Structure 1
Amino acid sequence: MVTFGTATAAPGEKDTGRLEVGETRDGSTFGLPVAVVNGIDDGRTLYIQAASDGDELNGVGVIQRTLPQLDPMELSGTILVCGVVNYHAFQVAEHRNPVDDTKMNRAYPGDKTGTSSERIAAATFNAAISADYVLDLHQGSTSQMIDEVRVRCGTRHRLHEECLELAKVFGCGYILDQKGPDGQLARAAPDEGVPTIDPELGGCVGWDEDSIQRGVDGVFNVLHHYGFLDGHYDTRPQTRATGFEQYGSPVGGLIDFKPDLGDRVARGETLFEVTDVFGDPKAEITADSSGVFWRARRLPQVATGEYVCSVGTNIDTY
């Protein structure tokens, strides 16, 4: 028997429930939506979570489409799922938890007696470190971004190769292999011996079917490769970046991007131009390094110093 919150499943069963993590402002309890898929045969445990940032919905779409396809009678091992981590932010379609103005993916490993976000992080972290592998599904917020997977433990970490292999198996086509900020699940869980990756499934307002399907494919790649499901998955070479350069605008105006997402750019190549509202040029911004055009703001208007785009650098094939 496997239990996660109120979800309980015997071998060969699937169940959904709630993981209680606190009370709302009117004093009523609330819980995160969770699921257990307990395979008929023994095996490893995979933990999957989505929406630790409340406006990043593609991961929720992946779970919505994946869970109905999982037959516990065909599964070896166990899958634990938290469908929405940042409960309060999800309710109001915001990025940060509005109760404590915290970005959830900076709160791990959490604190069960701490702030709202720290309590949620602690509860989900306990599930994560009980697993053998962790998929923390994200997207590039509401910006435009390629589908990629982030390895956040750092190249000197003892689990770096295991995390990198998991990212390759997920198979989005691109990997950002760069140590992440403190408080990320993909930083904290490897410290407890659990390979963890952070798939960033595109970037959009709402959700994007192509990115969701790429995430569903990635989950099944992992399930086949690590023996949860019968069948074999052959990994494909991935484009890896170990550097990440961000560009802001030196002036205010309207942005005109020159490359498309995923395009290779050369050092000195124009990334974007800024014009005034009448179309007269104000600035031309070029790449400091060669790399891949990785991420771009969605809205065309920009203020002085505001974020515009990012380039993945130090490119190789892994």
Structure 2
Amino acid sequence: MKALGTASAAPGEIDTGRLQVGETRDGSDFGLPVAVVNGAEDGPTLYVQAVSDGDELNGLGVIQRAVPQIPPEDLSGTVLVVGIVNYHAFQVAEHRNPIDDTKMNRTYPGDESGTSSERISAATFEAASRADLILDLHQGSTSQMLNEVRVRCGQRHRLHDECLELAKVFGCGHVLDQKGPEGQLARVGPDEGIPTVDPELGGCIGWDEESIQYGVEGVFNVLRYYGFLDGDVDLERQTRATGFDRYGSPCGGLVRFRKDLGDAVAVGDVIFEVTDPFGQLKAEVTADDSGLFWRSRRLPQVATGEYVCSVGTNVDEF
């Protein structure tokens, strides 16, 4: 039997349940939705989680579609799934955990006696630490963003090559290979010897079917490439960025973009303009470095200094 929380599956079976991690404000127990897919044959373990940011739902869309398609009778190994990590933020459709005003993916490996977010991180990391591979499904919040996979361990990390290979296998077409902030699962996992990546499946309000399909295909690419399921995976060349330039607005007004997602950007190119409500130009913002137009805000109105867009830099193919 393989178990996660109250989910327990014999070989060749799948089961769902809850991973209890605390109580809500009225004293009721709450648990995260979990699934165990236990293969008929022995093999490695894959851990998958989604919604560590409460408004990032594309990963949940991937789990909702992918898990019913995994045939446990044909599987070699085990897939452990936490469908919704940031329970409290998901309930109110917010990015951060409203109980402690914390971004969950900055609290790993967690603390079982700590804050709400730290306790959830500790419980999910205990499950993740049983795995041979980790997929932490995200999206670019409600911004517009390329479908990409992030390698967050840093290029000097002993597991960097394994993480980069996992990103290529997942196969979104774009990879951001840049060391991430402390407390990210995609940084802590490799420190524990587990190749871990952070697929960022587009960016939207609600969820987006195209990005979800990228994620479903990515999960099955991983299952086939690493021997969980039979089948071949053709590794296609990926576009990689190792830098990330963020641009804010020099003034308040309305943004008009001069680049679309995925467009090449050269030094000095105008990437966006800011106008007043009557269309009069107030500012032009140009690129400091060459690269790819990677991410942009969704709403046009901005205040001085507010985030507008990002350009992936130091771009190559691998």
User: Structure 2 length normalisation: TM-score?
Assistant: 1.00
Measured after TM superposition, the shift of residue 234 of structure 1 is 1.3
| Correspondence list, 1:57-76, <5 A | 57-76=57-76
**Alignment match, 1:52:** 52
Give per-residue Cα distances to partners, 1:143-174, cap 9 Å, x unaligned.
00000000000001000000000000000000
SS at match of 1:121: helix
Runs of 4+ in 1 over 6 A off after TM superposition: none
**Alignment match, 1:96:** 96
SS at match of 2:218: helix
RMSD over aligned CA atoms reads 0.4
Identity of aligned residues (%): 76
| Residue type at the aligned position of 1:74 | D
Give per-residue Cα distances to partners, 1:188-218, cap 9 Å, x unaligned.
1110000000000000000000000000000
Unaligned runs of at least 5 residues, structure 1: none
**Alignment match, 2:302:** 302
Cα distance between partner residues in 2 of 1:295 and 1:231: 34
| Residue type at the aligned position of 2:273 | E
**Alignment match, 1:169:** 169
SS at match of 2:135: strand
Measured after TM superposition, the shift of residue 107 of structure 1 is 0.5
**Alignment match, 2:188:** 188
Cα distance between partner residues in 1 of 2:45 and 2:169: 16
Give per-residue Cα distances to partners, 1:38-84, cap 9 Å, x unaligned.
00011000000000000000000000000110110010000000000
Cα distance between partner residues in 1 of 2:145 and 2:267: 20
SS at match of 1:289: coil
Cα distance between partner residues in 2 of 1:54 and 1:245: 25
**Alignment match, 1:287:** 287
**Alignment match, 1:20:** 20
User: Structure 1 length normalisation: TM-score?
Assistant: 1.00
Cα distance between partner residues in 2 of 1:226 and 1:232: 10
Aligned residues: 318
| Correspondence list, 1:204-215, <5 A | 204-215=204-215
**Alignment match, 2:233:** 233
**Alignment match, 1:257:** 257
Cα distance between partner residues in 1 of 2:2 and 2:183: 28
**Alignment match, 2:199:** 199
| Residue type at the aligned position of 1:242 | T
**Alignment match, 1:34:** 34
SS at match of 1:274: strand
Unaligned runs of at least 5 residues, structure 2: none
SS at match of 1:172: coil
| Residue type at the aligned position of 2:49 | Q
Cα distance between partner residues in 2 of 1:143 and 1:209: 16
1:5 has 2:14 as partner: no
